[in-house]
């Protein structure tokens, strides 16, 4: 299972007042919808004795977005008061991450994968890929469907 390209989307409508329910209820509803869709697709699926399989991988060398000096000043002030790293406030956590980004590498290798299972294409990349990126990959792919 994968979240897919959902770095900029979720299943909560921020334009409306959130419905009140038990914390597990939303997860249960999403899981039930997913299970129902999966069962339907399994019934409709065309089964085959064999299919072509292939995999391609590569790495992109990407620049890391680094915090500017104003953000680093704020971060240094924010982490001065940290006494218990197990109980960071959200701003302290963000400040800690900003300092780690500044101290980390300027570039990182990012692995990309493309998988073919018969007519199905699967593209994979780490991080929170945006939905628009996935839609463009699907549009450009010669394999239908592409995930």
Shared domain check, 98 and 71: yes
Task: Confirm whether 11 is domain-assigned.
Answer: no
Task: Confirm whether 54 is domain-assigned.
Answer: yes
In terms of average pLDDT, the best of 20-29, 102-111, 127-136 is 102-111
CA atoms within 13 A on the CB side of 4: 13
Could you tell me which residues come within 8 angstroms of residue 106 by beta carbon, excluding any fewer than 6 positions away? 63, 64, 66
Shared domain check, 28 and 88: no
Shared domain check, 52 and 30: yes
| Cα distance between residue 90 and residue 68, in whole Å | 19
| Cα distance between residue 37 and residue 34, in whole Å | 5
pTM recorded for the entire structure = 0.68
Task: Confirm whether 13 is domain-assigned.
Answer: no
For the chain, the domain total comes to 2
Shared domain check, 71 and 90: yes
Shared domain check, 90 and 30: no
Shared domain check, 47 and 118: yes
34-58 per-position pLDDT tens digit: 999 999 999 998 889 999 999 999 9
Structural domain including 32 reads 23-60+107-140
Output the average pLDDT for the chain: 89
123 and 146 in contact (C-beta within 8 Å)?
Answer: yes
Nearest of 54, 39, 32 to residue 142 by alpha carbon = 54
Shared domain check, 99 and 29: no
1-28 per-position pLDDT tens digit: 566 777 677 777 777 887 788 878 888 9
Nearest of 68, 60, 72, 67 to residue 129 by alpha carbon = 60
């Amino acid at each position: 299972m994968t979240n897919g390209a959902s770095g900029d989307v979720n299943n909560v409508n921020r334009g409306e007042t959130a419905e009140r329910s038990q914390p597990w209820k939303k997860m249960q509803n999403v899981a039930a919808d997913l299970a129902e869709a999966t069962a339907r697709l399994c019934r409709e699926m065309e089964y085959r004795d064999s299919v072509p399989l292939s995999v391609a991988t590569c790495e992109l060398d990407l620049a890391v977005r680094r915090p500017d000096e104003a953000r680093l000043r704020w971060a240094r002030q924010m982490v001065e008061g940290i006494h218990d790293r197990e109980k960071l406030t959200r701003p302290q956590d963000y400040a800690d991450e900003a300092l780690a980004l500044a101290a980390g590498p300027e570039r990182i290798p990012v692995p990309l994968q493309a998988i073919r299972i018969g007519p199905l294409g699967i593209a994979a990349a780490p991080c929170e890929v945006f939905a628009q990126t996935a839609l463009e990959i699907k549009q450009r792919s010669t394999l239908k469907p592409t995930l």
